[in-house]
Amino acid sequence: MWNNVRQLNLAASMLYALAAGVLVACAALWMIGRPMFTLRAIEIDGDVAHINVPTVRASLAGHLQGNFFTDNLDVARVAFESMPWVRRAGVRRVWPDQLAVTLEEYKPVATWGNDQLVSAEGELFTANQGELDQDDLPALSGPEGSAKDVLAKYYEFMHWFAPIGVKPVEVTLSPRYAWSVKFSDGMSVELGRERDEETLMKRSNRLVSAWSEVTHRWGEQIESVDLRYPNGFAVQVAGVRFIPDQAGGASKK
């Protein structure tokens, strides 16, 4: 090899290239560590109706490690998404010393229990209910993991009972998976368990179809209705309970 000029030149070229690579890497590391790349600003935009931007910047400063080149954007994103009201966060670098964050807030459509809210996508999230822009959200509740189903059923009840001029304000799915609804006029309706896809719709239609007759006979101050009967329903008015029979009459209990 030592007598082969071509091989010696090749080996020398490789050593030069390796040395140049090491020098470039060292220069890059030196440059990356310069103070000019220390993160100095976090720009936040997007949905910030329920977010105090200065407070967020101050609280998240300690979660950011490294600088413009070395900060882990996934860690920063998780930190933002752990805040109340934040559904999704997008984080990107802005040369030479900033992070730009775009936030998407949850859009609450109902309350869930005492301290949670339901988003338009049926997701549960924890936030201060006192920060709500509206105070007339329906109250939903149900077993763990049922929020999306309960929200979907809320919209179905709204549609089914719209012809009689009432709107659901509370929808409850019991631990035994029985449905009950309270309406804007104070009336409570027990619908029972869902046997198939049409069970609740048929029971709801039974009351809606008979509503004119019900209110004609017993007035509009209906306290509660039990729709769990096979062919009829029970109506309670001011402490008196009536059960319509199949022939159109009513028995008093």
The CA distances from residue 174 to 14, 68, 171, 189, in Å, are 75, 51, 10, 14
Show the tokens assigned to 104: 């998407």
The pLDDT assigned to 117 comes to 94
Q: How far apart are CA 32 and CA 69, in angstroms?
A: 7
Q: How far apart are CA 235 and CA 216, in angstroms?
A: 13
Mean pLDDT score, 31-52: 68
Which parts of the chain are beta strand (E)?
41-46, 86-94, 98-105, 108-112, 116-119, 124-126, 139-141, 168-173, 178-183, 188-193, 224-226, 234-237, 240-244, 250-252
The pLDDT assigned to 156 comes to 98
Give tens-digit pLDDT for 96-135: 777 888 999 999 999 998 889 999 999 999 987 777 766 6
Among 17-31, 86-100, 171-185, the range of highest mean pLDDT: 171-185
The pLDDT assigned to 133 comes to 67
Report yes or no: 237 and 219 within 8 Å, Cβ to Cβ: yes
What pLDDT band is residue 7 in, cutting at 50, 70 and 90?
A: low
- Listing DSSP states for 96-131 in one string gives TTEEEEEEEE--EEEEETTTEEEETTS-EEE--GGG
